[in-house]
Structure 1
Amino acid sequence: MTAMNLNRLAYFAAVVDTGSFTRAAERLRITKAVVSQQVAELEREIGTSLLIRTTRRVHPTEAGRMFHARCILILREAEDAFGELAQVAAEPTGTLRITAPNDYGITKVVPTVTAFTARYPACKVELMLRDQTVDLLSGEVDMAIRVGWLEDSGLQARKIGSFRQILVGCAGFADQIAAARDPEDVAALPFVANMALKEPLLWQFSRGDLERRAVRMQAAIAIDTTPAVLAAVLAGAGISVLPDFLVADLILSGHLVHAAREWQLPAGGIHAVYPAARFRPAKVTAFLAMLVDGEKQQ
């Protein structure tokens, strides 16, 4: 078999990712004719149809889907190889792909991304904000920021910081919150459940070293992203548990009220997680350093 042309792999991957020869050409900044010709040549080389072409969209065949997953890994390895060479000059280059939860991503990661691209103009950043866990072993993401409690996944992790969980309600609930001094009293108030959590209704309260209370809330509203839960609480929908980095300023300003202040909820960690590898691209190392520095300054 002849040596594989990496450009053809990139052209094919772009077509699958965008679902269109035209959009793939726009992404790659080349002509549609070149993309079509090179993908056709790739199919001839391997002797298999990779794409189903219709008038509206291009879909991968079953073989195409399998080959696309391999292409992503091959192209990422090639990019990392060039990145390793670039690291000799200690200057991050290439595209850094990060995923983070909505709340922490908006509050902390976006400002760091802005500062990072200003400091390293040879780098681009693709930031995906989602509360669902992304599989890092797919090769599509360089680093994930995870807020909460890490599971043993065989990945490498570095702790960036920590956070407290705080039970809050809007100022309109101030009287009811003041009267609800114990966790059981709080459970009688309308609750906004965060469905991005594994246990959105069951909460473990503690006071001192000995007192523990497990309380199950009754959801008035259930929402699947943390920023939307905050918006509902501010609008007066009920109380909820939210991370301190999201609500601390709102408590100080009086927009939110801290409920059951004598009781604490479990604190969590903030970690950067990435696939285990001997080589860590300069772009990952540099971004992580900036994110850690930003947390230390808080």
Structure 2
Amino acid sequence: MSELLNLNRLIFFTSVVETGSFTAAAERLGVAKAVVSHQVARLEDELGVSLLMRTTRRLHATEEGRVFYDRCAIILREAEAAYGEMSLHAIEPTGTLTLTAPLDYGEAVVAPVVATYRERFPQMRVDLIFDDNVIDLANGQLDLAIRVGWLTDMSNKARRLGTFQQYLVATPKLAASFPKVSKPADVAALPWIENAVLRQPLRWMFSREGYSSEIVEANSAVRTDKTPSAYACVKAGIGVSVFPDYMVVDDIAAGRLSRLLPDWTLPAGGIHAVLPMARFRPAKVRRFIEMMQAAERRRGSTPK
């Protein structure tokens, strides 16, 4: 075959067979009769066989034409089904959504969004990987990753979902046992829970309007390798530590934890949806990101 497969010519040919004439096929397709005749002639030239037997009243498929028509009908049905499936795929979520998120943010924010997502799209399956380790998107196994903190890898496309604040907290009982804590230097000697997931778990910069920023080098009382375990140690009254707001706001409001140095702030971090490089995003990904953005707006981490 001298040219690549031209599906349009298959459509012209099958229409002629089904309607019995070039005129009727042209009317069905909304084109000139000469276009249909020319395209079918080109198809016969490419194949090197006669597909149609022309009489004064009607066209009939030759034996080769009938065999070819049967195959063409299958090809066109499959092409139409594939196009329809992809069109639906672009509008309505289908299949399985696979994503990863840090354990703490996944439990606090992502899991409730997944519940809403599944309620709205019950046909969807969701595969979750909650892990503090950064999982590479290059292997094509993930649709998206939720990254919390500061992005360092620019090889993927990122969409900002919101931000988070960081709070230094302790139990009220433990906080009451400390000498007066009114400035960053006062917390350096406190018992700290060192969260090894963080890049610098014992070095923190505190800022306050009208004051110079202060860097605190803390002392480790207990070291853990997971954020939830560090959180459990703080809630058990072992020591103090820094956590993102989405983990501690409810406990602070309920009086289970106390925020230390509330007039000082720690660096805010970003929350991003990180996506593999692609021209188009399937509906399952777009809809989930929209729901994550709505969740962050409700949380007050992003402008409404």
Say yes or no: TM over 0.5.
yes
Counterpart-to-counterpart distance in 2, 1:104 and 1:171: 24
Q: Please tell me the root mean square deviation across aligned C-alpha atoms, in Å.
A: 1.8
1:250 matched to 2:248 = no
In structure 1, the partner of 2:171 is: 170
Which structure 1 residue ranges, 5 or more long, are not aligned?
A: 1-80
Quote the offset at 1:193 in angstroms.
0.9
1:132 alignment partner in structure 2: 133
The 1:141–1:178 alpha-carbon spacing in structure 2 relative to 1, beyond 3 Å, is farther
How far, CA to CA, are the matches of 2:158 and 2:250 in structure 1?
A: 29
What residue is the counterpart of 2:109 in the other structure?
108
User: Which secondary structure does the structure 2 equivalent of 1:241 belong to?
Assistant: strand
The 2-side partners of 1:162 and 1:238 are apart by 26
In structure 2, the residue matched to 1:99 is 100
Q: Deviations over 1:129-152 (max 9, x none)?
A: 011111011111110001111114
Amino acid at match of 2:263: E
Partner of 2:29: none
Q: Could you give the per-residue CA deviations for residues 38-92 of structure 1, whole angstroms, max 9, x where no partner exists? A: xxxxxxxxxxxxxxxxxxxxxxxxxxxxxxxxxxxxxxxxxxx999705456111
Do the aligned partners of 2:148 and 2:269 also contact (CA within 8 Å) in 1? yes
Alpha-carbon spacing, 1:145–1:209, altered in 2? closer, same or farther (3 Å): farther
Q: In structure 2, do the counterparts of structure 1 residues 201 and 84 end up closer, same or farther at CA, with 3 Å as the change threshold?
A: farther
Q: Partners of 2:264 and 2:85 in 1: how far apart?
A: 49
Counterpart position of 1:10: none
Equivalent residue, structure 2, for 1:220:
221
Identity %: 46
Contact 1:95 1:125 in 2 (8 A): yes
Structure 2 CA distance for aligned equivalents of residues 269 and 171 of structure 1: 29
Which residue does 1:121 correspond to in 2?
A: 122
Q: Work out whether 1:158 is the aligned partner of 2:159.
A: yes
Q: What is the rounded CA distance, in whole Å, between the counterparts of 1:247 and 1:156 in structure 2? A: 30
**1:51 counterpart residue number:** none
**How does 1:1-298 map onto structure 2 within 5 Å?**
85-87=86-88, 90-177=91-178, 179-208=180-209, 210-298=211-299
Distance apart, 1:291 and its partner CA: 1.0
Asked whether the equivalents of residues 89 and 282 of structure 2 are also in contact (C-alpha less than 8 Å), the reply is no
SS class of match (1:287) = helix
How far, CA to CA, are the matches of 2:87 and 2:146 in structure 1?
Answer: 24
Structure with the greater alpha carbon radius of gyration: 2
**Aligned-pair CA distance for 1:176:** 3.9
* SS of the residue 2:104 aligns to: helix
Cα distance in 2 for residues equivalent to 1:84 and 1:145: 28
Deviation at 1:290, TM superposition (A): 0.9
Q: Is the 8 A contact 2:252 2:259 kept in 1?
A: yes
> What is the aligned residue count?
218
Q: Distance in 1 between matches of 2:106 and 2:210?
A: 33
TM-score, scaled relative to structure 2 = 0.68
TM, length-normalised to structure 1: 0.70
Runs of 4+ in structure 1 off by over 3 angstroms are 81-84, 86-89
Q: Distance in 2 between matches of 1:267 and 1:96?
A: 29
Aligned residue for 1:54?
A: none
Please tell me whether the aligned partners of residues 84 and 281 of structure 1 are also in contact (alpha carbons under 8 angstroms): no
Would you say the 8 A contact 1:177–1:259 is kept in 2?
A: no
Q: Are 1:168 and 1:239, in contact at CA under 8 Å, matched by a contact in 2?
A: yes
Is residue 197–residue 226 contact of structure 2 (8 Å, CA) maintained in 1?
yes
Q: Which amino acid aligns with 1:297?
A: R
CA apart distance, 1:163: 0.6
SS at match of 1:162: strand
Shift of 1:190: 0.3
The answer for unaligned runs of 5 or more in structure 2 is 1-81, 300-304
Deviations 1:198-246 (A, max 9, x none): 1111111111154111111111111122122111100011000001111
- Quick check: 2:89–2:283 contact (8 Å CA) kept in 1? no
Equivalent AA in structure 2 for residue 263 of structure 1: W
Match of 1:136, SS state, is coil
